[in-house]
Amino acid sequence: MASVVDENRYNQRGFPRITVTCPVLYRLTSSKRWQVAKMVDFSATGIRMVCDENLAIDSAVGIQVKPGSQKTVPALAATGIVVRCEVNADQRFEVSCKITKVLRNR
């Protein structure tokens, strides 16, 4: 797992985006099955991941990050809304989610 803080002074974000590669679980709230994706980056208010599924904009999703021994990424259970979904060069889907609620870790 690798991580980098985006220190671009032209970045207008309220919270810094941290570039990191690690597994993340997600599921649409209408589904009971968790899917595996790869986290690309995250901030205090959102997460970007790459997955094999085309997720519709405004879809509600559950998100779980369990970093194991890697402490660069915090353990996280949250709900969010898909705000962007685009096909990348590898023909996978790059999905950006706005975190709407952080849940208690179970």
Predicted TM-score of the model (pTM)? 0.81
pLDDT confidence bin for 21, thresholds 50/70/90: confident
Superfamily of domain 3-103 in CATH is predicted glycosyltransferase like domains (2.40.10.220)
Q: Is the pLDDT of residue 31 over 60?
A: yes
In tens, the pLDDT along 66-85 reads: 876 766 777 889 999 999 99
pLDDT of residue 12: 58
Of 27 and 68, the one with more pLDDT: 27
Q: Is the pLDDT of residue 10 over 60?
A: no
Q: Which long-range contacts (CB under 8 A, 24 or more apart) does 64-72 make?
A: 64/24, 64/25, 64/26, 64/34, 65/22, 65/24, 65/25, 65/39, 66/23, 66/25, 67/1, 67/22, 70/1, 70/22, 72/1, 72/3, 72/18, 72/20
Taking all residues of the chain, what is their mean pLDDT, rounded to a whole number? 85
